[in-house]
Amino acid sequence: MATYINLGASSGGTGNLTINSGGTVTDTNGLIGWVGNSTGTATVTGTGSAWVNSGDMRVGNSGNGTLDILNGGKVTDNTGYIVTSAGTTGTAIVDGSGSSWSSAGSLTVAFAGTGTLVVRNEGTVSDANGFVGSQAGSVGTATVTSSGSSWTNNGGLYVGAGGTGTVNIENGGNVQANNGYVGNSSGSSGSVMVTGAGSNWNSVANVFVGFHGTGSLTVSSDALVTVGSGNPLASTGQADINDGTYAGSIGTIAIQSGGRLTTYGRMHIGEFGAGTLDVTDGGIVNSVGGYIGDLSTGGGTAIVSGMGSIWNNSGDLNIGYSGTGTLTISDGGTVTTGSGQTYTNNGVTTTSTSTVYIAYASGSTGTLNIGSPAGSAAVAPGTLEANTVAFGAGTGTLVFNHTSKDYVFSPAITGNGLVEFLAGSTVLTGNLSQFFGTTYVAPGANLSSGTQQTSSLNGMAGDTQAAMVASRAVGNELLGFERPVTAQNYVFASSMFGSAEGMVGGQASKGAVTLLGGLAYGHQDFTNMTEDDAPTVAAAMRYTFDDPFGDEDKALRPYAELGGWVTPDDRYGFTRDYSTYSGQQSSTGNTRGMQWADYARAGLRWDIDNDNQATAYGEVGQQRLRYAGYTETGGPFLATIDGGVMRYDIMRFGGSYTHNLGRDLYAPLSVTLSGAAAHAFDTHAGMVASIGSASFAGNASNQTWGEFGATLNAALTQHITATLGITGTTGAGPLGTSVHGIAGVGYVF
């Protein structure tokens, strides 16, 4: 066994070694490019071919060196180096299935000088610890590419250990380490890029990006970085990602274009140093908990932007824990938190409650931006999924600076901080009762609460219910509410003023059976609701019994009546009023629908004498209004209203009194006064609106109201009559009072 194999043993000289066909070379130290200005090249190729070094393998010692391990060849050593001297270069390529380089100790890519390691086509490299760019001034690059290619570090991987180091994991390549350090020492610079489906960097314990120096980690194009063994280890302080670990360090993590980063511990963005996390273009980060600006000297910035970009936390998230932290969620990005996760940070054990803490400790500064930061142009917002946003003892700010017209922010807000609404329309649906801070709404921005929006829908349901009650005046007129109960045969035509309704109708009797009804068409205006181009069809059948006492002069005649009315095709206009921080606003919408009512009545007709008649009745019935869904226009908060049915059942008691004025005024006149008391029960609003991601349901209560009418009827001839009168409804709460005038003519057969 040779003690040394020196390739390039003299200045200006060259040395070459090829091991093939299953051959084996054994020595203590293998030195390729041994002295300055020399060049050495070694090739180990073919299955069974091996170079066994019990000491060092140095590819570029003081000269330039190249090592090719191909087609199943193997190299082993105690310690491996690619370049050990400044001003020299070294390159090692491990290529092909079965090709391997194994170091029992460390493997250093560019201890000094410029070194390159390439592992490809199922080649493998393994060591105790890996160093890329070890000493100041060194430049090291390691590339692991293609499926099946791997670099396994049983201890740590130091990228930019003291110099400049780059690791590229591409096209399905795999790198493993117990701990990862990217930008390890002060003045060093490290970069790891993981890209392509199947590419993976797995660190069993921790990853430090910017440990004492400057580090960057980029994960893209469906590649994966995992930290931890698969179980949450955060309670023991393991499996963390530290981005900007110590004071003076700078760390940058970019997860983009479908890249994924999963840690079974916590994310520290700016622990003692400066850290940045960018999750964009569909990147995904999974962590137990997050700290942005963790300790007093730490400064962290995190951005989650773009549809499909997600930062999932199974625990809580801190923005400015003891340092300075900023989180921006924009353009459809999502940040989530979770409950029930127990972990320890700086000696404090916590069980998560799905809370985002802003400026937790005294002296800290935390800012959460929805959309873009203050001073920047507004952009589309992202989503925060959390139970609570809690301001702590530091200086905390929550900024809404977005372009949405219907953004819904659902977490509760607690503590003493500043909430700024700089652009866009925002609805706060969470509990605000424990928020004691300051709210600022800039000109042009809009703010409303879930309570205000729910109240607006309750108001809209009440307005709709009031319109339904008021619209009963049309059905009442068509079904003889303002007329005496008789067996006459007549037709009529009339107009109802205040509703712009034209009507025709009448009744026909034969024996004890009377059929009555009619048709109305027109327009009705109600509070916050209109009904246009609305045909109404009404019909009823009445059966009048004989006087049970046989008194034909002052007959008491019981009767039973079944009837109803329907508007089969309405065009509705709805107005929804709601409160905002800057005042009352309204949004409108148009849709189509229908309305109907039916009843069963039992009554008593008392023919007091030839000039006077009184009636009394009780009835039960129902009324329904169905409408199609629509989207509002106008106003800062536009809702999509689901189609639905407003309904209630009715109990109604009423009566009428008719007096012939002929004996009093010597004129063919009569007057009828009518009234009823109605009560709605089993009321259901059926009104649901969506604003952004939130849904609000409107409620309507059971109501009691009165219905009234008074008509003056004149017999112009034996057959022709004229009628003037009023009719309407009145009730408390949203119902109010509605009065209509009536004018018409009739023909009595």
Q: Give 10-residue mean pLDDT values along the chain (749 residues).
A: 84 94 97 95 98 97 96 98 96 98 98 98 98 98 98 97 98 96 96 98 92 96 87 41 82 96 91 94 94 93 98 96 97 96 76 96 98 98 98 98 94 98 96 96 94 91 89 90 90 85 92 95 84 90 88 82 94 92 91 96 93 96 96 92 95 96 84 96 93 90 94 94 94 89 94
Please tell me the distance from the alpha carbon of residue 571 to that of residue 534, in angstroms, as a whole number.
7
Count of CB atoms within 10 A of residue 569's CB?
A: 11
Q: Which of 139, 128, 194 is nearest to 161 (CA)?
A: 139
Q: 551: burial class by Cβ within 10 Å (0-12, 13-18, 19+)?
A: exposed
Q: 205 in helix, strand or coil?
A: coil
Gyration radius of the chain's alpha carbons: 43
Residue pair 102/78 in contact (Cβ under 8 Å)? The answer is: no
Reading the block at residue 635, the tokens are 């106003």
Q: 552 in helix, strand or coil?
A: coil
Please tell me the distance from the alpha carbon of residue 700 to that of residue 648, in angstroms, as a whole number.
10
Please tell me the distance from the alpha carbon of residue 402 to that of residue 172, in angstroms, as a whole number.
39
Residue pair 329/335 in contact (Cβ under 8 Å)? The answer is: yes
- How many Cα atoms within 13 Å fall on the side-chain side of residue 396? 30
DSSP symbol at 233? -
Please tell me the distance from the alpha carbon of residue 240 to that of residue 539, in angstroms, as a whole number.
77
Count of CB atoms within 10 A of residue 297's CB?
A: 18
> Which residues, 6+ apart, have CB-to-CB distance to 162 below 8 Å?
133, 134, 135, 136, 138, 184, 185, 187, 188
- Tell me the pairing of strands 266-269 and 289-292: parallel
- Tell me the pairing of strands 324-330 and 299-305: parallel
Q: What integer pLDDT is reported at residue 233 of this predicted model?
A: 34
Q: Which of 120, 119, 109 is nearest to 166 (CA)?
A: 109
Reading the block at residue 321, the tokens are 């824990």
Residue pair 68/18 in contact (Cβ under 8 Å)? The answer is: no
Residues 95-114, buried b or exposed e (16+ Cβ, 10 A)?
A: bbebbbbebeebbbbbbbbb
Residue pair 287/263 in contact (Cβ under 8 Å)? The answer is: yes
Report DSSP letters for 669-734, one per residue: EEEEEEEEEEEEEEEE--EEEEETTEEEEE-----EEEEEEEEEEEE-SSSEEEEEEEEEEEETTT
Q: What integer pLDDT is reported at residue 238 of this predicted model?
A: 41
Name the one residue in this structure whose structure tokens are 């109907």.
596
Q: 502 in helix, strand or coil?
A: strand
What's the CA angle centered on 596, arms 590 and 600, to 5 degrees? 160
> Which residues, 6+ apart, have CB-to-CB distance to 550 below 8 Å?
none
- Tell me the pairing of strands 513-526 and 529-544: antiparallel
How far CA 462 is from CA of 32, 422, 634, 684, 731, in Å, comes to 90, 34, 21, 11, 12
Reading the block at residue 617, the tokens are 């009745």
- Tell me the pairing of strands 164-170 and 189-195: parallel
What is the distance of C-alpha 712 from the center of its chain? 62
Question: Can you give the length of the chain in residues?
Answer: 749
Phi, psi of 93 (to 5 degrees): -125, 125
Q: What integer pLDDT is reported at residue 583 of this predicted model?
A: 87
Please tell me the distance from the alpha carbon of residue 421 to that of residue 375, in angstroms, as a whole number.
12
Residue 623 amino acid letter: Q
| Sign of the torsion formed by the C-alpha atoms of 492, 512, 726 and 613 | positive
Q: What is the dihedral of CA 542, 546, 551, 555, to 10 degrees?
A: -10
How far CA 356 is from CA of 290, 415, 632, in Å, comes to 9, 12, 34
Please tell me the distance from the alpha carbon of residue 503 to that of residue 476, in angstroms, as a whole number.
12
Q: What integer pLDDT is reported at residue 553 of this predicted model?
A: 66
Residue 333 amino acid letter: G
Q: Which of 113, 122, 121 is nearest to 141 (CA)?
A: 113
3-state percent helix, strand, coil for the chain, nearest multiple of 5: 5, 60, 35
- How many Cα atoms within 13 Å fall on the side-chain side of residue 248? 8
**Which residues lie across from 241 on neighbouring strands?**
207, 267
Reading the block at residue 704, the tokens are 């009691």
Q: What integer pLDDT is reported at residue 347 of this predicted model?
A: 74
Please tell me the distance from the alpha carbon of residue 246 to that of residue 214, in angstroms, as a whole number.
11
Residue pair 656/662 in contact (Cβ under 8 Å)? The answer is: no
Q: What integer pLDDT is reported at residue 345 of this predicted model?
A: 66
Q: Which of 492, 541, 535 is nearest to 513 (CA)?
A: 541
| Sign of the torsion formed by the C-alpha atoms of 476, 482, 486 and 491 | negative
> Which residues, 6+ apart, have CB-to-CB distance to 551 below 8 Å?
none
Q: What integer pLDDT is reported at residue 525 of this predicted model?
A: 79
